[in-house]
Amino acid sequence: AQKITQTQPGMFVQEKEAVTLDCTYDTSDQSYGLFWYKQPSSGEMIFLIYQGSYDEQNATEGRYSLNFQKARKSANLVISASQLGDSAMYFCAMREGRPGLSGNTPLVFGKGTRLSVIA
Amino acid sequence: ETGVTQSPTHLIKTRGQQVTLRCSSQSGHNTVSWYQQALGQGPQFIFQYYREEENGRGNFPPRFSGLQFPNYSSELNVNALELDDSALYLCASRPATTDTQYFGPGTRLTVL
């Protein structure tokens, strides 16, 4: 089974509108972390936002917020006031277990969603 | 700006050759991980190093090997290159105080 599922291969949004990118995850661990990364065409993975499994509040970072619904195992990314520079691939990723100082902390990624912002 | 750099940016090799990719991360980032991203896919975990020891490995054959050095730099070595090794290779480092991995810009490897 897929650990991270992103069901939207591509999304379009009008500039200045909000958009939600979907992500569901599968784990039996109680401790885990969820991440969203942005990958422009240049290739670099840019960290956007993080949600820990024990965090009670939804994470927010500027125009990015993470809609964390633990019972449904979903961690959707909401981008408010979309800008042309938001056009990129967006990846949801999960780290299972406690990382610790030296913990083996591989990220498992979904297949990504390509977001296109239209002027 | 993540403070993680990778070299070279692009590389072209032929099947059977060997390649070394390099990564440099920030001071204090004791954990470094390498990922392979094939075209149209999400990154796949290759291995992780902590204080110069490998402490985690994904589903990659032994011809993928690595090193981490005391100066927070690391290498990914791939022997006997195959056509399917063509991909973007990403290095990511993590400081001890956070759960977040910060990625470099990647090395795009083409195997002909």
Whether the predicted pLDDT of A101 surpasses 60? no
Q: Do A101 and B41 touch (CB under 8 A)?
A: no
The CA radius of gyration of chain B, in Å to the nearest whole number, is 13
Check: CB of residue A31 under 8 Å from CB of residue A54.
yes
Cα nearest neighbour of A96 on chain B: B99
Whether the predicted pLDDT of B96 surpasses 90? no
Mutate to test the interface with A, among B21, B47, B100, B102 (most CBs of A within 10 A): B100
Least Cα separation, residue B103 to chain A (angstroms): 6
Give the C-alpha separation, B22 to B76, whole Å. 7
Task: Report the residue from A93, A106, A110 with minimal CB separation from B58.
Answer: A106
Q: Nearest-CA neighbor of B100 among B29, B35, B17?
A: B29
Q: Do A45 and B90 touch (CB under 8 A)?
A: yes
Q: Do A47 and B42 touch (CB under 8 A)?
A: no
> What is the secondary structure of chain B as a DSSP string?
--S-EEE-SEEEE-TT--EEEEEE--TT--EEEEEEE-TTS--EEEEEEETTEEEEE-S--TTEEEEE-TTSEEEEEE-S--GGG-EEEEEEEE-TT-S--EE---EEEEE-
Give the C-alpha separation, B50 to B56, whole Å. 9
How many CB atoms are located within 10 Å of the residue B75 CB? Answer: 17
Q: What is the dihedral of CA B86, B84, B79, B105, to 10 degrees?
A: 30
pLDDT at A1: 66
pLDDT at B3: 86
Whether B43 and chain A come into contact, CB under 8 Å, resolves to yes
Query: Under the phi-then-psi rule, with left for phi > 0, alpha for psi from -120 to 50, and beta for the rest, what region is B2?
Result: alpha
Half-sphere exposure of B96 (CA within 13 A, CB side): 8
Whether A93 and chain B come into contact, CB under 8 Å, resolves to yes
pLDDT in tens, B42-54: 999 999 998 899 9
pLDDT in tens, A48-93: 999 999 998 999 999 999 999 999 999 999 999 999 999 999 999 9
- Going by pLDDT thresholds of 50, 70 and 90, the confidence category of residue B97 is confident
pLDDT in tens, B15-50: 999 999 999 998 888 889 999 999 999 999 999 998
